[in-house]
């Protein structure tokens, strides 16, 4: 088996059926592994309707990274395609991604063009986190005016190119390189786990590519919207601080801490604004 598609679910009954259907309609021999993080909706029932899927049911929510690592242990593919359940693949997406890796031996990771429900492009490619980018993000200023330039590089999203960091919704990775860097760091429960993985891969000199000939429709935040804004911000902050502990110095962390504290009132304001807009 050359390709292992790995999907981690948590209360994903509304999206997982379409996701799986799109994977199997890609007309490419794949091994599909779904790891369910103890969903309390009908996710497992929906997944079981597809006999082609290898289902792993966790008795508790182990987090995104750890669940993916569990799947890799039983996966047989040379390529690992980590896919969010809120994604729907267009035809030949997997084939095009695999063909690109097959033809470019110096590339370790390739990600598709991600599209919104209206087919507009999700412009979510970022630089690796640093003090400026994460301070703006914590204060909800990362999409405001010129400040967004510190988080989002100016890219032509219609062009295949090397990038620093791809959104983790759909990533094809060479298995031997995933294992070389030690897989996902399981100390990240949610968020920054793929950022840390890509940083470690990049630090070894491998390339990460955004590939426009593969397209995936992605409904952003379908799992995380189930969390209240305080819980969500707390998980984000813990993951951010763990990332900085690994890849930055303590001085940077100390400077960042006031912004971590301020992230809670910023999250409250953002939550209230969204409530009013509805």
Confidence of residue 64 (pLDDT cuts 50, 70, 90): very high
Q: How far is Cα 215 from Cα 217, in angstroms, rounded to an integer?
A: 7
| Radius of gyration of the chain measured on its C-alpha atoms | 18
Q: How far is Cα 195 from Cα 207, in angstroms, rounded to an integer?
A: 14
Confidence of residue 275 (pLDDT cuts 50, 70, 90): confident
Q: How far is Cα 264 from Cα 79, in angstroms, rounded to an integer?
A: 39
Predicted local distance difference test score (pLDDT) of residue 22: 96
Cβ atoms of residues 207 and 108 within 8 Å: yes
- Please provide the average confidence, as pLDDT, over all residues in the chain: 95
Confidence of residue 29 (pLDDT cuts 50, 70, 90): confident
Helix (H, G, I), strand (E, B) or coil at 117: coil
Higher pLDDT, 51 or 98: 98
Task: Over range 229-250, report the average pLDDT.
Answer: 96
pLDDT in tens, 185-194: 999 999 999 9
Cβ neighbours of 225 (radius 10 Å): 9
Confidence of residue 222 (pLDDT cuts 50, 70, 90): low
For residue 51, with 0-12 CB atoms within 10 Å meaning exposed, 13-18 middle and 19 or more buried, which class applies? exposed
Predicted local distance difference test score (pLDDT) of residue 70: 98
Predicted local distance difference test score (pLDDT) of residue 27: 73
Cβ atoms of residues 80 and 191 within 8 Å: no
What's the domain range around 17?
Answer: 3-277
Task: Over range 126-135, report the average pLDDT.
Answer: 96
Q: How far is Cα 239 from Cα 231, in angstroms, rounded to an integer?
A: 13
pTM of the full structure: 0.95
Predicted local distance difference test score (pLDDT) of residue 31: 95
- Residue matched to tokens 């807009």: 277
pLDDT at residue 223 above 90? no
pLDDT at residue 271 above 80? yes
- What distances in angstroms separate CA 108 from CA 59, 81, 100, one per listed residue? 33, 12, 10
pLDDT at residue 98 above 90? yes
Predicted local distance difference test score (pLDDT) of residue 278: 63
CATH assignment of the domain containing 179: 3.90.550.10
Query: And the tokens for 3?
Result: 């390709």
pLDDT at residue 114 above 70? yes
Query: And the tokens for 47?
Result: 């997944």
**Total structural domains in the chain?**
1
Triad 233, 191, 154: Cα angle to 5°: 100
Q: How far is Cα 217 from Cα 238, in angstroms, rounded to an integer?
A: 29
Q: Calculate what percentage of the chain has a pLDDT beyond 90.
A: 88
Partners of 162 in beta bridges? 209
Confidence of residue 90 (pLDDT cuts 50, 70, 90): very high
């Amino acid at each position: 088996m050359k390709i292992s598609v790995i999907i981690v679910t948590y209360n994903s009954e509304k999206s997982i059926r379409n996701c799986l259907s799109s994977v199997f309609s890609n007309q490419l021999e794949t091994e599909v592994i779904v790891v369910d993080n103890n969903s309390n909706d009908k996710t497992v029932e929906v997944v079981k309707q597809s006999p082609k899927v290898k289902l792993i049911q966790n008795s508790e929510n182990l987090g995104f990274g750890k669940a993916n690592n569990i799947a890799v242990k039983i996966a047989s593919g040379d390529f690992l395609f980590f896919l969010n359940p809120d994604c729907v693949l267009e035809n030949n997406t997997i084939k095009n991604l695999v063909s690109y890796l097959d033809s470019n031996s110096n590339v370790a990771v390739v990600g598709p063009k991600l599209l919104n429900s209206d087919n507009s492009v999700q412009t979510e490619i970022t630089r690796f986190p640093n003090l400026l980018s994460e301070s703006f993000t914590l204060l909800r200023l990362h999409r405001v005016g010129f400040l967004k330039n510190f988080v989002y590089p100016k890219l032509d999203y219609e062009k295949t190119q090397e990038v620093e960091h791809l959104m983790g919704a759909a990533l094809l990775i060479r298995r031997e390189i995933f294992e070389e860097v030690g897989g996902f760091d399981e100390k990240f429960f949610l968020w920054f786990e793929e950022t840390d993985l890509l940083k470690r891969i990049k630090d070894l000199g491998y390339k990460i590519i955004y590939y426009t000939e593969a397209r995936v429709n992605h409904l952003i935040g379908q799992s995380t919207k189930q969390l209240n804004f305080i819980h969500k911000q707390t998980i984000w902050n813990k993951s951010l601080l763990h990332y900085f502990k690994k890849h930055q110095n303590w001085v940077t962390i100390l400077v960042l801490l006031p912004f971590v504290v301020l992230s809670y009132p910023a999250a409250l304001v953002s939550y209230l604004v969204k409530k009013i807009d509805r």
